[in-house]
Amino acid sequence: EVQLVESGGGLVRPGESLRLSCAASGFFFTDYWMSWVRQSPGKGLEWVANINLDGSAQNYVDSVKGRFIISRDNAKKSLYLQMNNLTPDDSAIYFCARSSDSQGGISAAHFDSWGQGARVSVSS
Protein backbone atom coordinates (compact mmCIF):
# COMPACT_ATOMS: atom_id res chain seq x y z
CA GLU A 1 0.00 0.00 0.00
CA VAL A 2 1.30 3.41 -0.97
CA GLN A 3 1.86 5.66 2.05
CA LEU A 4 3.05 9.24 2.21
CA VAL A 5 3.45 10.77 5.64
CA GLU A 6 4.28 14.46 6.05
CA SER A 7 5.86 16.02 9.11
CA GLY A 8 7.46 19.29 10.14
CA GLY A 9 4.53 21.67 9.99
CA GLY A 10 3.92 24.29 12.64
CA LEU A 11 3.41 27.93 13.55
CA VAL A 12 6.16 30.38 12.61
CA ARG A 13 6.56 34.15 12.37
CA PRO A 14 6.90 36.01 9.05
CA GLY A 15 10.45 35.80 7.73
CA GLU A 16 11.20 32.54 9.49
CA SER A 17 11.95 29.15 7.95
CA LEU A 18 10.45 25.68 8.15
CA ARG A 19 11.37 22.33 6.64
CA LEU A 20 8.71 19.80 5.70
CA SER A 21 9.47 16.11 5.26
CA CYS A 22 7.52 13.34 3.55
CA ALA A 23 8.28 9.69 4.23
CA ALA A 24 7.28 7.36 1.40
CA SER A 25 6.60 3.64 1.53
CA GLY A 26 4.83 0.94 -0.43
CA PHE A 27 6.27 1.77 -3.86
CA PHE A 28 9.59 2.20 -5.66
CA PHE A 29 10.37 5.78 -4.66
CA THR A 30 13.04 6.19 -7.34
CA ASP A 31 10.50 5.46 -10.10
CA TYR A 32 8.43 8.57 -9.47
CA TRP A 33 8.59 12.33 -9.66
CA MET A 34 7.34 13.84 -6.42
CA SER A 35 5.45 17.06 -5.74
CA TRP A 36 4.24 19.42 -3.06
CA VAL A 37 0.72 20.84 -3.36
CA ARG A 38 -0.76 23.31 -0.87
CA GLN A 39 -4.24 24.40 0.12
CA SER A 40 -4.88 27.64 1.97
CA PRO A 41 -7.65 27.64 4.58
CA GLY A 42 -10.99 27.38 2.82
CA LYS A 43 -9.35 27.77 -0.57
CA GLY A 44 -8.47 25.64 -3.56
CA LEU A 45 -5.40 23.64 -4.47
CA GLU A 46 -2.08 25.12 -5.62
CA TRP A 47 0.84 23.14 -6.99
CA VAL A 48 4.04 24.33 -5.33
CA ALA A 49 6.96 22.34 -6.71
CA ASN A 50 8.05 19.03 -8.15
CA ILE A 51 11.30 17.11 -8.49
CA ASN A 52 12.48 14.46 -10.91
CA LEU A 53 13.59 10.90 -10.20
CA ASP A 54 17.18 11.56 -9.14
CA GLY A 55 16.67 15.07 -7.78
CA SER A 56 18.59 16.78 -10.57
CA ALA A 57 15.66 18.87 -11.82
CA GLN A 58 13.10 20.92 -9.92
CA ASN A 59 10.19 23.13 -10.93
CA TYR A 60 8.44 25.77 -8.83
CA VAL A 61 5.40 28.02 -8.96
CA ASP A 62 6.55 31.64 -9.31
CA SER A 63 5.29 32.70 -5.88
CA VAL A 64 7.83 30.47 -4.10
CA LYS A 65 10.80 30.65 -6.48
CA GLY A 66 13.93 31.76 -4.65
CA ARG A 67 12.38 31.02 -1.24
CA PHE A 68 11.47 27.31 -1.31
CA ILE A 69 13.70 24.38 -2.17
CA ILE A 70 12.39 20.91 -2.97
CA SER A 71 14.76 17.99 -2.52
CA ARG A 72 14.71 14.24 -2.08
CA ASP A 73 16.83 11.53 -0.48
CA ASN A 74 16.22 8.34 -2.42
CA ALA A 75 18.15 6.22 0.06
CA LYS A 76 15.77 7.36 2.81
CA LYS A 77 12.70 7.36 0.51
CA SER A 78 12.02 10.90 1.64
CA LEU A 79 10.92 14.17 0.06
CA TYR A 80 11.61 17.58 1.57
CA LEU A 81 10.48 21.18 1.23
CA GLN A 82 12.72 23.85 2.74
CA MET A 83 10.64 26.99 3.12
CA ASN A 84 12.49 30.26 3.77
CA ASN A 85 11.35 33.83 4.31
CA LEU A 86 7.81 32.69 4.97
CA THR A 87 4.90 35.11 4.67
CA PRO A 88 1.27 34.84 5.87
CA ASP A 89 0.31 33.97 2.26
CA ASP A 90 2.24 30.72 2.67
CA SER A 91 -0.13 29.55 5.41
CA ALA A 92 -1.71 26.36 4.15
CA ILE A 93 -1.90 22.62 4.42
CA TYR A 94 1.01 21.20 2.44
CA PHE A 95 0.44 17.85 0.76
CA CYS A 96 3.16 15.54 -0.47
CA ALA A 97 2.01 13.84 -3.66
CA ARG A 98 3.33 11.13 -5.92
CA SER A 99 3.37 12.25 -9.53
CA SER A 100 2.76 9.82 -12.36
CA ASP A 101 3.30 10.14 -16.08
CA SER A 102 0.52 10.56 -18.61
CA GLN A 103 -0.31 7.81 -21.10
CA GLY A 104 1.48 9.92 -23.68
CA GLY A 105 4.69 9.95 -21.64
CA ILE A 106 4.52 13.42 -20.11
CA SER A 107 6.33 13.35 -16.78
CA ALA A 108 4.61 14.24 -13.53
CA ALA A 109 1.25 14.71 -15.20
CA HIS A 110 -1.06 13.76 -12.36
CA PHE A 111 -1.00 13.18 -8.61
CA ASP A 112 -2.08 9.60 -7.94
CA SER A 113 -1.27 9.33 -4.23
CA TRP A 114 -1.34 11.97 -1.52
CA GLY A 115 -0.27 12.30 2.09
CA GLN A 116 -2.59 13.55 4.80
CA GLY A 117 -0.98 16.99 4.79
CA ALA A 118 1.09 19.14 7.14
CA ARG A 119 -0.31 22.42 8.43
CA VAL A 120 1.87 25.51 8.16
CA SER A 121 0.76 28.74 9.80
CA VAL A 122 2.68 31.99 9.40
CA SER A 123 1.61 34.76 11.75
CA SER A 124 3.12 37.43 13.92
Q: Is 104 in the site for other proteins (CB under 8 A)?
A: yes
Q: Could you tell me which stretch among 7-15, 21-29, 71-79, 96-104 binds other proteins (CB under 8 A)?
A: 96-104
Which CB atom, from 27 or from 114, has the smaller least distance to other proteins? Answer: 114
Closest CB 48 distance from other proteins, rounded Å? 9
Q: Is 23 in the site for other proteins (CB under 8 A)?
A: no
Which residues in the 31-50 window bind other proteins by CB under 8 A? 35, 37, 44-47, 50
Q: Looking at 7, 21, 58, 59, which residue binds other proteins (CB under 8 A)?
A: 59
DSSP annotation of 77? T
Q: How many helices (H) and strands (E) does the chain have?
A: 0, 11
Q: Looking at 8, 61, 74, 121, which residue binds other proteins (CB under 8 A)?
A: 61
| Separation between Cα atoms, residue 47 and residue 94, nearest integer Å | 10
> What percent helix, strand, coil does the chain show, rounded to 5?
5, 50, 40
Q: Is 20 in the site for other proteins (CB under 8 A)?
A: no
Cα 25 to Cα 5, 52, 58, 68, 107: the distances in Å are 9, 18, 22, 24, 21
Strands 92-100 and 118-122: antiparallel
Binding-site ranges for other proteins (CB under 8 A)? 35, 37, 44-47, 50, 59-62, 95, 100, 102-104, 106, 108-112, 114-117
